Structure 1
Amino acid sequence: MHTMWKGTISFGLVNIPVKMHAATENKDISLRQLHKECESPIKYEKVCPVCDRKVENDEIVKAYEYAKNKFVKLDEEDLKALKQEQGDKAVEIMDFVKLDEIDPVYFEKSYYLSPNEGGGKAYGLLRTALEETGKIGVAKMMIRSKEQLAVIRIYQNTLVVETIHYPDEVRNTQDVPNVPEKTNVNKKEIDTAKMLIEQLTTTFDPEKYNDAYRTALLELIEERKNKEQVVSGKERKQEPDNVANLMDALQASLDKAKKDKPKPKQPKRKTTASKKKATS
């Protein structure tokens, strides 16, 4: 399993060298866009609308748009210094809380933690302590250039880092439109709904759920492949360079000059009568 990050998790005086690995993967099927006319893949290029030309990576700088079309430019050196300053800090567990105190809306992405060299005993200590207390740890850490709020918990005997949103990243429910304050439902309707919930209540088994759309799309793709209903993207024709263009122009000019050049006049042949007159 690929290691995404190496660091130290600490709580109190206990330091745990760990490695972090992605716990989930995106199984979405990525579809390309083709030009309908020639069936070639569409390219997306970075183009400056003012200069009207393609822009290379080394010509691009980062900036923050604080108002419409107003930017604050940020140097790579400044950003690198900030990343280094935050990245050098150990991941310190600040608090311990109960898992059910955090609403699922805060959860973002999961990562597995494994002990790094020499960290097995401390790793086991934290895992056992969390298990026996029923608590999870709340910490801050740097992931992909962002200071991330996270919780550390246990999942199937493995420590997991669960990144969570900051409070200001969760939108206010008061901004959701058309949510009724109260509804006029009678007791019979409520009892029927509760009965239905009870009938559908079961133990959560993630294996029973699957992405029906992705499965159907994969089957469709495989069916088209087997029937050889496929296309090949056409490669762009290489444009002749300036030298080739110049040579073509010169050759065309030479051919035209030869064609237009007047033929030399042939001398008139003397007739037999003229010859006789000359000899008499």
Structure 2
Amino acid sequence: MAARAIWKGHLSVGELSCGVALYSAATTSERISFHIVNRKTGNRVRREYVDEQTGKPVEREDQVKGYETSRNNYIILEPEEIASAVPEGDKTLSVAAFVPCSEVDTAYFDKPYFLVPSDDVAENAFALIRDGMRKQNVAALARAVLFRRVRSVLIQPHDGGFLANTLHFDYEVVSASDAFADMPELKITGEMLDLARHIIDTKRGKFDPSTFDDRYDAALAELVRAKAEGREIEKPKREAEKKVVDLMQALRESAAAADKAKKKAKPAAPASKRKAS
């Protein structure tokens, strides 16, 4: 890979181990980004930490982290104290268990990474683990110290290598039962369910990320180009608000249109022969 590995270590499965390298699988570097500028001078503005009470700037060497125990009362943590509390990594991505891919809850996914062999020596063991997992249709749950934190990682075969997702901790993920607690229990049946099937059938397609359209970023890029070229900035056209649809009426109209199309496509029956007199 042309990019630089952000982590190198070993993937360990019991007694089997191989060298691996971790690469970012997603980036936001292509997005439009802005600087904060002084409107009057055109110069960039820099951020400065100031004391909340005195309003005076605080020098970098006097800036420390503090945990608030009560209003305006903090436990001060020195940099060396925080550093000593961070677990030391042994550069090992240790597999704790293999789980069926169907059991993976994507709500826990944090950030995606690509995992590849770190050198030629690791390729055979890497391929053995990858192909074995693909054959069994399982994902690996592993743990490692990544970016100064102990993290759980879900590893799945992906093309010629692995896709590794760091996982949120359980306390970080909002409970689905809490999120949906106020939703009424409805059972959709009959014609309404037929309507749902019809809507899905008419919108079937394939997952193609290349068709994803970042309209906001594209609009910002066009705005920058227009201002740089001195062109008039055209206001984007707003889509008209859609009317509230009567689901049952939509179902009847859809069914009627389908029947009409079916009758039109059906070939006419041959005329029956008259009996000889």
Instruction: Work out whether the TM-score is over 0.5.
Output: yes
Q: Is the 8 A contact 2:8 2:91 kept in 1?
A: no
The aligned amino acid for 1:107 is F
Unaligned runs of 5+ residues in structure 1 are 230-280
Aligned to 2:35: 32
Of 99, 102, 113, the match for 1:100: 102
Alignment of 1:79-228 (within 5 A): 79-83=82-86, 85-88=87-90, 90-117=92-119, 118-176=121-179, 179-183=182-186, 187-227=190-230
SS for the counterpart of 1:87 is coil
> 1: CA distance between counterparts of 2:115 and 2:91?
17
1:188-212, CA deviations, whole angstroms, 9 ceiling, x for partnerless residues?
Answer: 2232122101221222121222212
The aligned amino acid for 1:5 is W
> 2: CA distance between counterparts of 1:138 and 1:206?
27
1:58-104, CA deviations, whole angstroms, 9 ceiling, x for partnerless residues?
Answer: 11112222443332222322332333x43126221001012221222
Aligned to 1:17: 19
> 2: CA distance between counterparts of 1:76 and 1:199?
59
Alignment of 1:247-266 (within 5 A): none
1:166-208, CA deviations, whole angstroms, 9 ceiling, x for partnerless residues?
Answer: 1111012344388322247563223212210122122212122
Q: Is the 8 A contact 2:90 2:145 kept in 1?
A: no
Of 9-18 and 85-94, more deviation after overlay is shown by 85-94
> 1: CA distance between counterparts of 2:62 and 2:231?
44
Q: Is the 8 A contact 2:152 2:166 kept in 1?
A: yes
Structure 2 length as normaliser, TM-score? 0.74
Structure 1 length as normaliser, TM-score? 0.73
Unaligned runs of 5+ residues in structure 2 are 233-277
Identity %: 24
Larger Rg: 1
Tell me the C-alpha RMSD between the 2 structures. Answer: 2.3
1:78-133, CA deviations, whole angstroms, 9 ceiling, x for partnerless residues?
Answer: 332333x4312622100101222122211111111121233222211111111111
Q: Is the 8 A contact 2:21 2:115 kept in 1?
A: yes
SS for the counterpart of 2:18 is strand
